[in-house]
Chain A
Amino acid sequence: MNKSPEPIVLCGMKSYFYLTALLLCCSHAQESTADPFAEQAPNANTTNEVSVPFDSDTIIQSLEYIKLPVSDVTRLLFDENLLGDSVKLRESLTKLIQEGKAHTHEMMCNAGSAGTTLTSDATIEMIYPTEYEPSRLLQTVQMPQNTKFGKEWQKLISHLQSGVTASAFEPRNVGNSFETKSTTNADRSYVQSRLAPEIVHHEGWSYYGKEVDHEGKPSVRMPIFSVLRYSATITTSVSKPQLLTIHNCVDEKGALDPSHKILVFLRSRVIPTEKSK
């Protein structure tokens, strides 16, 4: 009766030993197959990169900004009822452009793989002052040794005063930017896009104060920027223009121009890859 447990214990110890050895072998095998290039490429990028499949379609999207008088906008959209037919509306605008009544204000285009975020910028980084220090008396003045305090006194005293000094600056990107992320349906007849185009123009300066600089212009000046911005998610037919929005215009003085409007059109094209056809 007392000998019966020993073989079981021995058998259990043996099975435990074999099980442990098996687990060690398995874990070693898993470690060796988890990252086979880890030792060969120690400097490899370990961040989560979004891999784009090689067989994804290429989507080309172009934006057109067409400027025309308000009277033509209301006539085409509401009197001729072209609100829901952007193809006929775009053809009518082509005629107006040929007649010189409308013109293309801006164009942007992006091309890239479906499902990826595309960004294109064409900007100038304009740095302008945001703070000014007031005029002050100078602490020291270097004067010629042979200076005579006579008629030249009026000219010399003007050098004792420092002009208005710009003390802080800020950069602003002036130009256009176009960010989009698009996908197509299975038969490539529609393109769904998330768009965010923006146009920033420098329209001029607004002047403050009466102190003038060496060019005779007021020293304190601030730039006037005009911004046209649109952001939306929309599905459009491939190769057909689609009216996206109407923007207000800005005149040369930096004020809203009530006589003109800007119509924004989107046109998408899809180039399928050989593998995805």
Chain B
Amino acid sequence: MIRSLIVLMGLASCSFAEVIVSLRAFELSRDLAGTLTQTPEKAYDIALQAIKQQQAREVETLLVAAHETFFVQSESFVELIYPTDFVADELPETKREKAPENPSISPRPLSYLDFIVFSVGTKLQAKATLAKHNHFLLDIEYSRVTLHRWKTFPNQHANPEFQGCTMNTKITIPQSTWQFMGFRDTWRAESPVGAKVAFFVRVDPLN
């Protein structure tokens, strides 16, 4: 009897216990991004229509499932280790196969002394809490770091240049509805100048 009561109480309390937080990002033109800003309630439909007309493309799709009111974190990244401290060698290079093209700017090879680890990839952290009238209070943090390029200096040392995109916010959204979260600059090098990335999030209850 007591065990049955506990089960019933547990089932009643977990009617919205598990949630799925989804995130989608679409790359589109600057003009289209302006349209989304003016009509945020229809932004998702406009973005989907733009994808069908090949005026936009999906650049990010992430999802996490977890217990309500608990933080969930999902990461997928590459650890890039690159030098941060270097000195000129005491000796000239002896094993060079061919002569340097411009020996005046690279008199000596470099020795790397110190390195740093940098995570390049994506991270999604979220916590959804059930609010009144089938709304969820969503605490979401999304970050994406990409390697933009390697910048080479005259002494043949090269440093990486990273491109970051973050979204960290708290917002109350209706359940099972895509919510426009604004846009950022694109991280794709091959994209046209001025392209933007529009973010949408959604919370769905499980069970």
* B is bound to A: yes
Interface positions of A (Cβ within 8 A of B): 70, 73-74, 77-78, 83-84, 130-137, 157-158, 161, 164, 185-187, 190, 192, 203, 206, 208-212, 220, 222-236, 242-250, 254-256, 258, 261-262
B184 at the interface (CB under 8 A from A): no
Selected contact of B81 from candidates A211, A223, A249, CB within 8 Å: A223
Chain A positions within 8 Å of B96 at CB level: 210
Interface residues on chain B, size class? 35 or more
Please tell me if the beta carbons of B111 and A164 are within 8 angstroms of each other in the complex. yes
B162 at the interface (CB under 8 A from A): no
**Given the contacts A223-B81, A231-B72, A256 and B65 also touching, CB distance less than 8 Å:** no
**Given the contacts A136-B90, A232-B70, A245 and B80 also touching, CB distance less than 8 Å:** no
A224 to B78, CA, bound (A): 7
**Given the contacts A132-B112, A235-B17, A206 and B66 also touching, CB distance less than 8 Å:** no
A79's closest neighbor in chain B, by CB?
B48
Chain B positions within 8 Å of A232 at CB level: 64-67, 70-73
**Given the contacts A210-B93, A228-B75, A235-B14, A131 and B114 also touching, CB distance less than 8 Å:** yes
Chain B positions within 8 Å of A255 at CB level: 78, 120, 147
**Given the contacts A136-B90, A186-B6, A231-B72, A245 and B64 also touching, CB distance less than 8 Å:** yes
B179 at the interface (CB under 8 A from A): no
Interface positions of B (Cβ within 8 A of A): 3-4, 6-7, 10, 14, 17-18, 20, 22, 24, 58-59, 61-67, 70-83, 87, 89-91, 93-96, 109-115, 119-122, 146-147, 156, 158, 204, 206
Chain A positions within 8 Å of B87 at CB level: 134
Selected contact of B89 from candidates A130, A134, A212, A226, CB within 8 Å: A134
Chain A positions within 8 Å of B158 at CB level: 208
Nearest first, the 9 A-B pairs at minimum CB distance are A134-B111, A232-B72, A222-B81, A232-B66, A247-B76, A248-B76, A245-B74, A229-B75, A225-B79
A223's closest neighbor in chain B, by CB?
B81
- Name which of B70, B112, B147 has the most chain A CB atoms within 10 A of its CB: B112
Chain A positions within 8 Å of B7 at CB level: 185-187
Please tell me if the beta carbons of A245 and B63 are within 8 angstroms of each other in the complex. yes
A220 to B66, CA, bound (A): 43
Please tell me if the beta carbons of A258 and B206 are within 8 angstroms of each other in the complex. no
Chain A positions within 8 Å of B81 at CB level: 206, 222-224
Please tell me if the beta carbons of B66 and A246 are within 8 angstroms of each other in the complex. no
A130 to B85, CA, bound (A): 12
A157 to B63, CA, bound (A): 61
**Given the contacts A247-B76, A250-B78, A137 and B91 also touching, CB distance less than 8 Å:** yes
Please tell me if the beta carbons of B75 and A83 are within 8 angstroms of each other in the complex. no
The distance from the CB of B205 to the nearest CB of chain A, in whole angstroms, is 8
